[in-house]
Structure 1
């Protein structure tokens, strides 16, 4: 492993061969990133800001003595802790992460991974059974193999499928990386991780067979502002809060982890309404609203969500065990 990594924020000058005007994606935003640099100091770093995220780890070496050689002292300072840069954007965005540099040695146990979504305690958002990509495709691991020859350029480019993405890293001894974060607007969002404590979210299947999840990492009061789910035989002219027997429905519930598939349900909603319905409070670590669609109908729900407190206990429909 090299002892020193020299970092540069200047633009890379490309050779003018066949395409002299074409620049790589990581060149296009170098000036933008110059004024938006974030140094990662916490093991769990949560952000919603674009820009450059820089991490560098240098082992703390104690004085060399006969009893404690310098190398042994350095190894004692090493750790196998897995840390993460958790990125969250607006509901109608996806996350783009470009690894402009990484010095993470495979041989010393170093490893990085891009996760399409978030992972906490072995659970994923969006849930494994609800995402259109297999988990093996959603988690991409990489590190530096310095024994490999010829050397391969260590710049990588990733995009998420929703407004949440995660960059995990395990650097036991020494290493560094520079990750550039950007957000891109999309027209048909499905899975959304809520960062606002009070907002209205539009959920729709756009005529597709898919499950869409809205998750908030806090206890929340939920109400349906408007609803159109299912065919006429189940919709009628009002909202039905007991739709567990129907394939197309809106599930409201919560859990202690990220996986919506394992949540406890408070209600199953379907039907039609253009007026706001009653609030129900979900007192769980994660509040989840899940739209299940067979693709036979154009399903849509506008969901109002706000952070719940002790004054909302009288409208609680679900209280999760601690």
Structure 2
């Protein structure tokens, strides 16, 4: 299922007088009953609460007094795009859904975001296979009894997507909650100015920070690679090292296809120069073998026209 979308992305305060002796980690955030109506095909949210969508088929009277069922954009795929704070994951519960399989209706939970057939986090960087990241479901009314159980999903990062295709009529109610995690790996940035941390926590994995806009990036501090690399302090040409920090951009979400502006490794506590990435998506990617505790902090801000003077990468349109 694919969604073609164009968009611009422009804490829960927890207080308690006493804690019970045992409490599940995913109960730390209280239930919310805020109700939101989904009216746009492309709906982006960072708010918890219940989200409701309902579609009814339009009936147009004809000259012969017979009613004609109007089907507009019957195969259009829409999506509820959810984004949280960098150190959160998303809990998404489909409380109720009336999506008829027989009429071509379909829903899908995506662990991450999908745009134009590309995914965040990238297919090669995520620890789950795509077949395990995309879960499709609908109502089979030929089955008896009709089964419409609640669907419960959790994302692996601060981005998740609920896609839906409803040709005639249908509805659903979904609840969204956010939960803190201690070791975030992939982060989708929605603030136009932010200081982001990225680390492998000793694991063999690639982690990414992606901003959905042209951005300037500067390294604030860095600790990537072994002792022999760190003796060189900071190195902006590390393509031959397995452990490195890559900075670049793409026209889409897939990080493996990004054009690289620089590949950095070594050690520094001093902020480096800004480099402007004029691409649809700006990405910082930490590549780690698992042999070292790699970490970095980067400052990201939305690039302006004046930043063309420090541009290190301009992607083709």
Report the TM-score when normalising by structure 1: 0.88
**1:188-246 deviations in Å (ceiling 9; x for gaps):** 00000001110111100000000001000000000000000000111215210000000
Q: Counterpart in 2 of 1:196?
A: 191
Is residue 2:154 matched to residue 1:164? Answer: no
Distance 1:142 1:29 in 2: 28
- Paired position in structure 1 for 2:13: none
Matches within 5 A, 1:12-27: none
Partner of 1:19: none
Aligned to 2:276: 281
Residue in 2 aligned with 1:292?
287
**Residues of 1 paired with 2:240 and 2:72: CA distance?**
57
| Counterpart for residue 44 of structure 1 | 42
Using a 3 Å threshold, how does the CA distance of structure 1 residues 124 and 163 change in structure 2: closer, same or farther? same
Q: CA RMSD in A?
A: 1.6
Aligned pair 1:121/2:121, yes or no? no
Contact 2:205/2:287 (CA < 8 Å) preserved in 1? yes
Gaps of 5+ in 1: 1-24
1:264 to 251, 259, 262: 259
1:60 is displaced (CA, Å) by 1.3
Once residues 82 and 236 of structure 1 are traced to their aligned partners in structure 2, the CA distance between those partners, rounded to angstroms, is 52
Please report the TM-score for the alignment, with normalisation by the length of structure 2: 0.89
Contact 1:87 1:164 in 2 (8 A): yes
Residue 129 (structure 2) aligns with: 134
How much does 1:153 deviate?
Answer: 3.6
SS at match of 2:131: helix
* Structure-to-structure mapping, 1:306-321, within 5 angstroms: 306-321=301-316
Q: Secondary structure at the match of 1:61?
A: strand
Q: How does 1:1-322 map to 2 (within 5 A)?
A: 32-33=32-33, 36-66=34-64, 69-70=66-67, 73-77=68-72, 79-322=74-317
Q: How many residues align?
A: 291
Unaligned ranges ≥5, structure 2: 1-25
Q: Which has the larger radius of gyration?
A: 1
Q: Deviations over 1:75-106 (max 9, x none)?
A: 44461100000000000000110001000000
